[in-house]
């Protein structure tokens, strides 16, 4: 049997709690601890996984006491600088889901890729990343088709979805092709519509629960474990799987 990947999770807020549910229940991983800003090493309510406050126990001590193979970060941009050099020194894999890295943060994360395996993704759901790759392929195959992007979110979301903007950018269509609808409590709906002269293709992704972030982190961990040191995006990891699958089919 292959060895479980020992994982430390940083961040135990709205996303981190859902991610802990997924990683804690996945037999491929051994979720050793969860770190947040401040805590008294309270155990997870349903498990004996310790929840540790970084203000009480810094990362170097934490890694000495409870070694891990991988770190999954759902906290804040500043954490990267608190654990970065330890991750580099110890060769710990890093899956960072932080959406708001500055250019400098990203440059630093890239630099860690010289010494260990790093993946950063501002959108870590497997489904959205698959939709983007599939849409990119169809756009290449049918550059003549009209493209429209529809995004739907809960009533109070003020801005246009960043994911919809990324889709538009990737497909090289104008942001004007994005239609935003706001109503009810929709968690997140993205749809790319390809209008051909004699047919229509719709690629749709619906977010249902935050646990989807955990599924994405689990995918990234498994893929990174088979990569060389370097800096990767979610696309890079997904394309590795797709390429391998296509080659096998030939
Ligand atoms: N890539 C994606 O698809 C994706 C999806 C969802 C969220 N995210 C990102 O995940 C992060 C968290 O989102 P959220 O909605 O869960 O936020 P949240 O509810 O505010 O939770 C943030 C968590 O991070 C912890 N934290 C913050 N700074 C820390 C530090 N310096 N050291 C250790 N722990 C720290 C907080 O600790 P305390 O509990 O002690 O305050 C809290 O547990 C954000 O950066 C967000 O952009 C990304």
Clarify whether residues 23 and 83 are in a common domain.
yes
- Same domain (yes/no): 112, 59: yes
pLDDT for 41 beyond 70: no
pLDDT in tens, 97-145: 998 899 999 999 999 999 999 999 989 999 999 999 999 999 999 999 9
Q: Whose CA is nearest to atom 21 of ligand 1?
A: 13
Q: How much is the average pLDDT of 221-228?
A: 97
Residues near 20 by Cβ (< 8 Å), separated by ≥ 6? Answer: 9, 12, 31, 34, 44, 49, 214
Annotation says 153 is catalytic = yes
Query: Catalytic: 157?
Result: yes
Stretch 92-101: mean pLDDT, rounded?
A: 95
Residues 55 and 174 in one domain: no
In a domain, 96, yes or no: yes
Structure tokens given for 192: 């790319």
Q: Are residues 118 and 81 in the same domain?
A: yes
User: Is 243 part of any domain?
Assistant: no
Residue to probe by mutation, ligand 1, list 19, 52, 75, most atoms within 8 Å of CB: 75
Report which protein residue has its CA nearest ligand 1's atom 3: 123
Could you tell me if 218 and 117 lie in one domain?
yes
Residue 51 located in a structural domain: yes
Residue 225 lies in a domain: yes
pLDDT digits (tens, 9 = 90+) for 43-58: 666 678 999 999 989 9
Per residue in 158-187, pLDDT (tens digit) is 999 989 999 999 999 999 999 999 999 999
CATH number at 180 reads 3.30.360.10
| Domain total in the chain | 2
What CATH number is attached to the domain comprising 47? Answer: 3.40.50.720
Phi, psi of 12 (to 5 degrees): -135, 45
> 39 and 17, same structural domain?
yes
Shared domain for 26 and 58, answered yes or no, is yes
Rounded CA-CA distance 125/207 in Å is 9
Q: Do 188 and 146 share a domain, yes or no?
A: yes
What was the pLDDT predicted at 70? Answer: 98
Q: Is residue 155 part of a domain?
A: yes
Looking at the structure, do residues 23 and 60 belong to the same domain, yes or no? yes
Give every CB contact of residue 16 below 8 A, 6+ residues apart in sequence: 9, 10, 34, 36, 74, 75
- Domain residue limits at 227: 5-124+211-234
């Amino acid at each position: 049997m292959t060895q479980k990947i020992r994982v430390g999770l940083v961040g135990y807020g709205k996303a981190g709690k859902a991610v802990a549910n997924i990683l804690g229940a996945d037999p491929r991983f051994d979720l050793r601890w969860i770190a947040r800003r401040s805590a008294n090493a309270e155990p997870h309510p349903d498990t004996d996984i310790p929840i540790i406050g970084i203000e009480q126990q810094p990362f170097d001590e934490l890694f000495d006491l409870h070694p891990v193979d991988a770190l999954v970060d759902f906290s804040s941009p500043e954490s990267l600088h608190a654990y970065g050099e330890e991750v580099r020194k110890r060769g710990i894999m890093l899956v960072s889901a932080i959406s708001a890295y500055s250019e400098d943060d990203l440059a630093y994360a890239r630099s860690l890729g010289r010494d260990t395996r790093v993946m950063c993704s501002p959108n870590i759901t497997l489904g959205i990343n698959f939709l983007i790759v599939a849409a990119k392929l169809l756009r290449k195959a049918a550059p003549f088709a009209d493209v429209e992007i529809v995004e739907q979110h809960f009533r109070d979301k003020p801005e246009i979805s960043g994911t919809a903007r990324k889709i538009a950018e990737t497909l090289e269509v104008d942001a004007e092709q994005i239609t935003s609808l706001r109503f009810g409590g929709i968690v997140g709906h993205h749809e790319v519509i390809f209008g051909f002269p004699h047919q229509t293709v719709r690629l749709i992704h619906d977010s249902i629960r935050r646990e989807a972030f955990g599924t994405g982190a689990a995918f990234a961990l498994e893929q990174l474990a088979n990569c060389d040191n370097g800096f990767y995006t979610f696309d890079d990891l997904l394309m590795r799987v797709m390429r391998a699958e296509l080659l096998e089919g030939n």
